[in-house]
Amino acid sequence: MKKFIIKRLLISAVILVFVAFIIYTLMRCLPTSYLEQVARQKSMTPGSKSFEEWMQQLSATYGMDKGILPGFIAWCGKALRGDFGDSWKWTVPVIDKFKESVWVSFIMGGIAFILELIIAIPLGIIAATKQYSKTDYTITIVALACFSLPTFFFASLMKLLFSVKLGWFDLGGLVGRNYNQLTSGAQILDKAHHLVLPILTLVVISIGSLMRYTRTNMLEVLNADYIRTARAKGLSESKVIYHHAFRNTLIPLVTMLGGSLPGLFSGALITETLYSIPGIGFVSFQSMTAGDIPFSMFYLVFLAILTLLGNLISDILYAVVDPRVRIS
Amino acid sequence: MSEEIRNNQNQNSSENEYSLNDDRRVRTLSPGALVIRRFIRNRVAVTGLVILVAMFIFSFIGGAISPYKEDQLFYTYNEQKKQYASIKENKEIRYVSASKNSFPSVAKAKCVMAIKKDEDTFEAKKIEYKLTKESDTLYSIYGEGDELVAFATYDIISSSTQGQDLPFELQYEIEKTISAGGDGFEFDGKSYTVDEAGTVLEGENEIGYASRYIVQAIMSDVFLTRSFKDQLISHINDGKNEFVFTDEDGTEAAYALTYDAGSESWNVLQTVETKVFDTYHSPTKEHPLGTDKNGMDMLTRLMYGGRVSLYIGFIVVIIESLIGVVLGGISGYCGGWVDNLIMRIVDIFYCIPSMPIIIILGAAMDAMRVDPQIRMIYLMLILGFLGWPGIARLVRGQILSLREQEFMIAAEATGIRASRRIFRHLIPNVIPQLIVTMTMSLGSTIITEATLSFLGLGVKFPFASWGNIINDVNDTFVLTNYWFIWIPAGVCLLATVLAFNLVGDGLRDAFDPKMKR
């Protein structure tokens, strides 16, 4: 087991280096619009250096004057020491901005994740136990509809319904207009109030796939021989389903859910952007569209790490949860 | 299968009795036909298929028969009331000076006081002025050397010819005649007549007129004719607030009159028709879904948008599948280090976060001002190039498991060529899974494209896409008031993606021979 984890970690590290290199190359090949913009602005001020001189100085400051490979090695060296440079757009160290914004995303993602579990798994099991019934068809179609729903369309509908027509929530933002006048308890409530629609959107959008996954796996388990045995023993149907079948359905579920845990930190790019929640997703969206290379670089590599970590966790969990699986 | 046989048995038993080993007793169906039968029996999947067909007809045929073009602009006439002239009854003394600087404003102020105090002289800027009261409405002002520098009166004397002012002396003579109640005068060797209405004639020709009302045009290039002014004044005196004037050429124009109590003046408003883009027009017969923010027909945009979304979906999925099948196939069939290498490449591509990358590239293309058409091609290439690892993994996994099965060993044992083994026995067994995955990823590709277009980083104006049609809701006013702009596009998008997923789901069930109903 230890050997397996170490081997996987090493492979992941190699993959990560390659991914980071590809991303770095890509970023460097882009027209560095942001630096040019700043240089142009600075060269406009009276008595200033020329645009080319500013461009040179800025490129040197941000390490953009080196070739791609030396630049990448320098970036890696700094990144390993936890220094990802200063964000161009936010004018603070990348790490500071990240720490500031990631928790909102995590809380949002976490609550949505728990709600998803509570709603999707029971529905998936019900659909599977009553296969081809009306309930099953309804659940399957609803799941597929959620799965097919474009985030931005759903969010717009929610805004129209709850913000414009009913006036229950603000159209966007994490805090209300009078946030600073509130007591600390009311401030938390205000934030929670603003997170309702984003979380609702997240839950509805992602609930479908989990529901289908549960249903498929539950169906597979229900067709297994040991379930027939359990039924043949004369066990009650509830005992068969919730004791024998459900436990075995948990194997793929836990594996998949464990793998998606790191994803909670990645932020919901589209949802956060739509509701202007200053989480990591929205912050990086703004950075990316502004051509902020240090921040985008960090965010992309961070996402790659999360993906690798997720894969690793699900592989390990698979072995841990299912005693039939032996790692070799 | 067993069900198939039973059904046929029931059907046939009513007709003829066949012996047990008669071939006609069992209608044999090819595997393809079986799949189709199983698919058709799945009502939900068929619904999906119907929606898809409807969407294709809507987008491709609808776009062709629509009377409008994708980027055809529509205009409307907007009636705007613009201020045309203002009119005011003069209640103050006005000065007409001989030349521009002969009677400065300081002197005017002093003059007013002198008139009020009934004085004959006043001094301004060390110049002694003499004031002579000719009548109640006319004062003559003499400056240095008893020269007439100005006169003060309540009347306004205007010239009848555009762009030509009457000389000062002539104006003075006219005013003198009017205030004295005379009907004619001699000036510069010519004789002039003045009638009751204040019209000044030189022989037969009208050269000017005097009036108590100040009528000024707002635009400096507009010349107000005498008859216009007269009619206007008579309308105002009658207390009307509308006024239709027919000029010499016979053109009619309507004006509205409003009284401004603050400045004690009347405003003449002209109704002007301006040609503007017919934006956000509510649904009508000509435009069943109204018009969008550029004044284009929404229904036509929706059809063309569907075309773009479907095109992009199909091309991206074809690119994805080509790369995926080739690499996955090689990887699965060859095994060994080739497999290892390709799978590591797949791992790397799997880790690259595609959405952020596409957003960055979209923003970069914005900065480079890439042509919208080329941009669309880039978008397809990028989406396809980032999407293949999933398919490669699937194909590899399938081939690995198929390779170990008995029928492949049998195929090998019969001694047929490798290429035939691959294309005749291996690939057909991968295709069902592949078709299902392709159908499902068509849906997700359309969503990705729509999301990008929604964010303004995908398909760009002038091309329509369902995503960039919905983009208008970023304007809260559109979100709130113009449902017909974005709801239909969203419904189309949802319906299409849902239909692809339903069909994919149905196909998965239909392809699975173990499926029992």
Is A139 part of a structural domain of the chain? yes
Residue A328 within a domain:
no
Statement to judge: residues B228 and B340 lie in one domain = no
A213 and A77 in one domain? no
For residue A213, being part of any structural domain is answered with: yes
Same domain, A147 and A223: yes
Is residue B316 in a domain?
A: yes
Average pLDDT on A57-75 reads 79
B372 and B257 within one domain? no
Where residue B415 sits, what CATH number does that domain have? 1.10.3720.10
Q: In whole angstroms, what is the distance from residue B499 CA to residue B44 CA?
A: 9
For the ranges A9-13, A20-24, B82-86, B328-332, the lowest mean pLDDT is seen at B82-86
**Model pTM?**
0.76
Look at A300 and B356 and tell me if their CB atoms are within 8 Å. Answer: yes
**Same domain, residue pair B362 and B407:** yes
**For residues A144-152, average pLDDT:** 89
Q: Do A144 and B498 touch (CB under 8 A)?
A: yes
Q: What is the pLDDT of residue B14?
A: 47
Least CB-CB distance to B44: which of A18, A141, A273? Answer: A141
Nearest CA in chain A to B343: A15
Q: Which residues of B touch A (CB under 8 A)?
A: 44, 344, 347-348, 350-353, 355-357, 359-361, 363-364, 366-368, 443, 447, 450-451, 454-455, 457, 467, 470, 473, 476, 479-480, 483, 486, 490, 493-494, 497-498, 500-502, 505, 517
Do residues B395 and B256 share a domain?
A: no
User: Does the pLDDT at position A317 exceed 50?
Assistant: yes
Q: How far is CA B197 from CA B48, B65, B127, B201, in A?
A: 84, 67, 38, 12
Return d(Cα B422, Cα B326) in angstroms, integer.
12
A145 to chain B: closest CA residue = B498
Average pLDDT estimate for B440-468: 88
- Do B48 and B85 lie in a common domain? no
A27 within some domain: no
Check if A92 contacts B (Cβ < 8 Å): no
> Do A55 and A130 sit in the same domain of this protein?
no
Instruction: Say whether both A104 and A75 belong to one domain.
Output: no
Which of B302, B348, B354, B360 is the mutation pick for testing A, counting most A CBs within 10 A? B360
Q: How far apart are CA A286 and CA A283, in angstroms?
A: 5
Domain boundary among B277, B299, B314: B277
Domain containing residue B254: CATH number: 3.30.450
Query: Which candidate, B466, B464, B468, places its Cα nearest to that of B454?
Result: B468
User: Does residue B338 belong to any structural domain of this protein?
Assistant: yes
Contact B251, B270 (CB under 8 A): no
Residues on chain B touching A144 (C-beta within 8 angstroms): 498, 501-502, 505
On whether both A151 and A72 belong to a single domain, the answer is: no
All residues of chain B having their beta carbon less than 8 Å from the beta carbon of residue A18 are 348
> Could you tell me if A103 and A208 lie in one domain?
yes
What's the confidence (pLDDT) of residue B26? 66
Which one has a higher pLDDT value, B203 or B342?
A: B342
> In 3D, which of B353, B341, B338, B434 has the Cα closest to residue B386?
B353
Question: Would residue B112 count as lying in a domain?
Answer: no
- Residue B322: inside a domain: yes
Sign (positive or negative) of CA dihedral B457, B458, B460, B466:
negative
Point out the domain boundary residue: B243, B277, B311.
B277
**pLDDT band, residue B515 (cuts 50/70/90):** low
DSSP tag of B473: G
Which residue is associated with the tokens 């991303």?
A: A23
A219: its two tokens: 């169906």
| Contact status of A308 with chain B (Cβ, < 8 Å) | yes
Sheet with strand B184-187: strands edge to edge: B156-159, B205-211, B199-202, B190-194, B184-187
Best mutation target, A30, A131, A164, A288, to test chain B (most B CBs within 10 A): A288
pLDDT given for residue A113 in this prediction: 93
In whole angstroms, give the CA distance from residue B84 to residue A262: 69
A161 touches chain B (CB under 8 A): no
Total CB pairs under 8 A between chain A and B: 122
Domain that holds residue A60: 35-82
Check residue B174 and give its pLDDT: 79
Q: What is the C-alpha end-to-end distance of chain B, expressed in Å?
A: 11
CA distance B369 to chain A (A): 11
**Residue A14 forms part of a structural domain:** no
Q: Predicted confidence band at A328 (pLDDT cuts at 50, 70, 90)?
A: low
Q: Are residues B251 and B354 in the same domain?
A: no
Task: Look at residues A54, A82, A110 and tell me which one is the last residue of a structural domain.
Answer: A82
Q: What is the mean pLDDT of chain A?
A: 86
Inter-chain touch B497–A22, beta carbons under 8 Å: no
Burial class (CB in 10 A: 0-12, 13-18, 19+), A323: exposed
For residue A263, the domain's CATH number is: 1.10.3720.10
Q: What is the 3-state secondary structure (H, E, C) of chain A?
A: CHHHHHHHHHHHHHHHHHHHHHHHHHHHHCCCHHHHHHHHHHHHCCCCCCHHHHHHHHHHHCCCCCCHHHHHHHHHHHHHCCCCCECCCCCCEHHHHHHHHHHHHHHHHHHHHHHHHHHHHHHHHHHHHCCCCHHHHHHHHHHHHHHHCCHHHHHHHHHHHHHHHCCCCCCCCCCCCCHHHCCHHHHHHHHHHHHHHHHHHHHHHHHHHHHHHHHHHHHHHHCCHHHHHHHHCCCCHHHHHHHHHHHHHHHHHHHHHHHHCHHHHCCCHHHHHHHCCCCHHHHHHHHHHHCCHHHHHHHHHHHHHHHHHHHHHHHHHHHHHCCCCCCC
A259 inside domain: yes
Both A65 and A134 in one domain: the answer is no
Q: In this structure, are B304 and B254 located in the same domain? A: no
Nearest CA to B6 out of B508, B515, B517 is that of: B517
pLDDT tens by residue, B107-123:
878 888 888 887 788 88
B356 falls within a domain = yes
> Are residues A308 and A278 located together in one domain of the fold?
yes
Query: What is the pLDDT confidence band of residue B208, given thresholds at 50, 70 and 90?
Result: confident
Looking at the structure, tell me whether residues B366 and B256 fall in a common domain.
Answer: no
DSSP assignment, residue B171?
H
Does residue B439 sit in the same domain as residue B323? yes
Same domain? For A78 and A105 the reply is no
Tell me the per-residue pLDDT of B272-300, one tens digit each, with 9 for 90 and over. Answer: 777 777 777 777 777 777 777 777 888 88
B225 domain residue, yes or no? yes
**Stretch among A233-237, B130-134, B493-497 having the lowest mean pLDDT:** B130-134
Computed over every residue of chain B, the mean pLDDT equals 81
Last residue of a domain, one of B221, B248, B277: B277
Is residue A215 a part of any domain in this protein? yes
Q: Is the pLDDT of residue A166 over 90?
A: no
Same domain, B269 and B316: no
A173 touches chain B (CB under 8 A): no
**Statement to judge: residues A158 and A103 lie in one domain:** yes
Partner-chain residue, chosen from A148, A153, A288, that has the shortest CB–CB distance to B360: A288
Average pLDDT over residues B23-37: 77
Q: Please say whether the beta carbons of A31 and A290 come within 8 A.
A: no
B385-404 tens-digit pLDDT: 998 998 999 999 888 888 88
Does A258 have pLDDT greater than 50? yes
Q: Quote the percentage of chain A above a pLDDT of 70.
A: 98
Q: Are residues B261 and B303 in the same domain?
A: no
Question: What pLDDT is stored for residue B65 in this prediction?
Answer: 82
Q: Does A289 touch chain B (CB under 8 A)?
A: yes
Residue B134, H or E segment: strand B127-135
Q: Within a domain: residue B265?
A: yes
Domain count within chain B: 2
A62 belongs to a structural domain: yes
- CA torsion angle A317 A323 A324 A328 (round to 10): 60
Residue B109 lies in a domain: no
Split at pLDDT 50, 70, 90, the class of A118 is very high
Q: Which domain holds residue B221?
A: 77-90+213-277
Q: Do B473 and A156 touch (CB under 8 A)?
A: yes
Q: Mark yes or no for CB contact B351/A16 under 8 Å.
A: yes
Give the pLDDT confidence of B1-20 residue by residue, as tens digits.
Answer: 444 445 554 554 445 566 66
Strand partners, B252: B246
CB contact under 8 Å between B360 and A30, yes or no, is yes
Question: Is residue A66 domain-shared with residue A117, that is, in the same domain?
Answer: no
What is the average pLDDT across B425-442? 88
Q: How far is A153 from chain B (nearest CA, A)?
A: 6
Number of domains chain A is built from:
2
* A220 and A313 inside one domain: yes
Q: Please indicate whether, in this complex, the C-beta atoms of A289 and B502 are within 8 angstroms of each other.
A: no
Minimal C-alpha gap between A185 and chain B (Å): 31
Query: Is residue B471 domain-shared with residue B393, that is, in the same domain?
Result: yes
Closest CA to A305 of A68, A85, A15: A15
